[in-house]
Structure 1
Amino acid sequence: MSTLPAPPAPSPKKRIFDRLLDRGIVSKGELMEALSLTSTSLTRLLEEMIAENVLQLSGHGDSTGGRRPLLYRLDPEYGYAAGLEISRSYSSVAVFDMNMNKLAFDRWRMDERMTPDQLIGRVESFLEKARREHGIVTERILGLGIGAVGPLHSGEGVIQKPLHFPSPGWTNVPIRRLLEERLGIPCALENGANAALLGEHWALRDENVKHMLYVHVGVGLRSAVMSGGHIVYGATDMEGSIGQMIIQVDGPRLQEKGNYGALEAFASIQALEKQARSRLKLGGQSVLNAIAGGPDELNFDHLLIALNQEDVFVQELFAQSASYLGVGLANLVNVLHPEKVILGGALLSAYEDAFAIATQVAARSVYHSDEYRPEFSKGTLQEDAVSFGAALMVYRNLRV
């Protein structure tokens, strides 16, 4: 049995770069302690990186009795990274400087016209505009990270057979190659849930969280897991498999190939639409009857309108879905034991009480001790998490 060779150890400059990327502003003393470098070696490396415009001085820290320490940070203008989210309902793209400050952003709906070629053209136009408005030299765009719905072949840069895209043409799309040819910059593909978790983990860097779970509830359910500060990968890239978790034996089935009684049949946009149509056909009383023009015409936008009108029928649907989501979360937490659980997606953002309901149900069913109590959160980055995490990948992969 053979094993893959271990990846090469990062260079001392790369270790300094990564530390500053994670910590922001750092003193020489902190770098010496964290990276186990001698004062002479570290001074030489810092001077070289300043001369290369990778780092810059950022003033002085507080004195502990002697000279005030010099502080360092990454030069925000050394390079820029773009992050692209490709999702079923909405997609977005953003440009970040070296200190992960967002400089430009665009977001659009994924309708029936948004083919791969249309999306690539929109990204190209966005980057050209961002360069002009911020005076960015083309060569300073270091790369584009892509966070996309699965299933993917990340190594080949291919979006394989995603479900529920409104536009045709999204099967077996070599998205990395197509974007690299059009944009002329390196691109990397990761599933969107993993990218979001990378972003949210960076946002919590001061808390030193090592074990995390990310769950996104939209058209389908997507999840990502982090253990020991690293994303956990399986034998295949099926980020939506959480939706196939069976939570009710002999329960309903959402899709022809899905499991009966699976979580996606209770807690997803599709489930909400299907349940609303069925109940309306059985005589359910709701403003949806007037808004949608009939059960068969109903979609999620109609549910949001009714929800904004405080329609009790729709509120009950969302509350029930959130409760089932809590059951699924409890199952995951009991297996994975994360320190923090980040929840996002349309169900959580549309219905204000969904987060409280889901987490309360989950907390009641989580087996814990006095030493272990998971923390639930909506996250820091929220809707920006995927594009942020995708751009962060560019800097993580950067050779310094």
Structure 2
Amino acid sequence: MAHNTQPQPPFFIGVDVGGTTIKVGIVDDNGRSLSKSVVPTEVKQPPEIGMANLERCVRDAVQQSGLTMDDMHSVGLATPGTMDIAAGMLLTPGNLPAWHGFQIRQHVQNRLQKPTVLQNDANAAAFGEFWVGTARDAPSAVMWTLGTGVGCGIIIHDVVIEGQHSHGGESGHMIVQMDGGRSNVDGRCGTLEAYCSATALVKRCREAIEAGADSSLRATLDAGQEITAKLIADAAEAGDELADRLVMDTARILGVATVSLMHTIDPSMILIGGAMTFGRHDNIIGRRFLQRLKDEVHALAFPIPAAKTRIDYAILGGDAGYIGAAGCARQRFTGKTPSGATAEQRAYPC
């Protein structure tokens, strides 16, 4: 039987608020993105300016989809943490400094006149992959998002692990170095983010070159140009030993953290997503990065999870956040889950 290619109602608005841009997509009941729009967040301005940008972005995405606001069922809103999910409030999000203490869910709901659910951005991205991405057939999944920081989302039997205080899954702040650890941007020492984010990779590269390490990237620094994670990956692909060592060491450390999560929740799948995935399977560095991570897992994890846990790249890219946010609205306001399980079945998954 041929698959129905027509958009399937109900339709959901997925919103992914970042430190640079707000991304909005219209998503149908099957998790298909019908349209997408992007506007600047303008984080240095009062949050009301951001809300006006968000509303403009939503209305543009709806218009692009060929639908109307009346066709929209509800809104899923993904933002960086920290937050109080139940209260719909941002607490102290590091990349939204002017939005601290902002009741964002109620503001969005008032502007759009649609039921709105708030979710952490890393959780939403993981939920998108769980719904229609790489983990769509998995009972449970952990997704690392590597970028400016390190995010993490955990989904078990259709349930996002939010925790008692809306801080569940903040595993980028897992301690991987007890004594003398590197500091991340918010001053916490020894965290995974201080070693495996794009920010940390660039910082470690600069420090090594300034300490005398030989690298083709020295010319970039000498010219007064910025080193980026992309430049480091390109240098590694071209045979630069320092760049290659740093990328593979990032994979090793991420593997150590992955084993800790495997031994804690025993998921069926581990995903790697975000902006820093080194070209994924399409690039030799991406393939080697994933294999190095797997090697560390196989060396450190218990034999059964080491053998049976699937580890792979996420596939939705930058769309994962708004698709997952839409999926959270779908689940919250219609009761439909990615697996099709009822609330009672989710409560007793065995």
Question: TM-score w.r.t. structure 1 length?
Answer: 0.71
**Same amino acid, percent of matched pairs:** 22
- Corresponding residue for 1:6? none
Cα displacement string for residues 189-241 of structure 1 (whole angstroms, at most 9, x for unaligned residues) = 01122222222222269975322222222222222223334223322222573
CA distance 1:125–1:324, change in 2 (3 Å)? same
1:91–1:315 CA distance, 2 compared to 1 (3 A): farther
Which one of 279, 287, 301 corresponds to residue 366 of structure 1?
Answer: 301
Preserved contact between residue 35 and residue 64 of structure 2 (Cα < 8 Å): no
Moved more, 115-124 or 278-287: 115-124
Which residue of 71, 89, 105 corresponds with 1:158?
89
C-alpha spacing 1:282/1:155, structure 2 compared with 1 (3 Å): same
Please give the root-mean-square deviation of Cα atoms over the aligned residues, in Å. Answer: 3.3
CA contact (8 A) 1:244 1:258 kept: no
Structure 1 gap segments, 5+ residues each:
1-60, 63-70
Give 1:140's match in structure 2, choosing from 62, 71, 90: 71
Distance of 1:74 and 1:194 partners within structure 2? 28
**Contact residue 86 and residue 147 of structure 1 kept, 8 A:** yes
Higher alpha-carbon deviation: 145-154 or 204-213: 204-213
Alignment CA distance shift 1:259-1:78 (3 Å):
closer
Q: Which amino acid aligns with 1:387?
A: Y
Alignment match of 1:391 (pick from 314, 326, 341): 326
Residue 278 of structure 1 corresponds to which residue in structure 2?
A: 207
Higher relative contact order (CA 8 A, sep 6+): 2
Number of equivalenced pairs:
326
Residue type of the alignment partner of 1:360: D
Query: Aligned partner of 2:298: which letter?
Result: A
Q: Is the 8 A contact 1:88 1:219 kept in 2?
A: no
Code of the residue aligned with 1:98 in structure 2: it is D
8 Å Cα contact 1:143-1:186 kept in structure 2: yes
Q: Which has the larger radius of gyration?
A: 1
Equivalent in 94, 109, 124 of residue 180 of structure 1: 109
- When the two structures are superposed, what TM-score results if normalisation uses the length of structure 2? 0.80
Q: Tell me by how many angstroms 1:292 deviates.
A: 4.2
Show the counterpart of 2:340.
none
SS at match of 1:316: helix
- For residue 156 of structure 1, report the CA deviation from its aligned partner: 1.6
- Cα deviation 1:29-55 (Å, max 9, x = unaligned): xxxxxxxxxxxxxxxxxxxxxxxxxxx
1:340 to 269, 273, 293: 269
Aligned to 2:233: 307
The SS at the match of 1:93 is strand
| 1:116/1:170 contact within 8 Å kept | yes
Q: 1:1-400, aligned counterparts within 5 Å? A: 76=7, 78-88=9-19, 91-107=22-38, 116-163=47-94, 165=95, 168-203=97-132, 208-238=137-167, 241-255=170-184, 259-292=188-221, 298=226, 302-309=228-235, 310=238, 312=240, 313-349=242-278, 352=286, 353-369=288-304, 373-399=308-334
Gaps of 5+ in 2: 280-284, 336-350
d(CA) in 2 for partners of 1:115, 1:239: 28
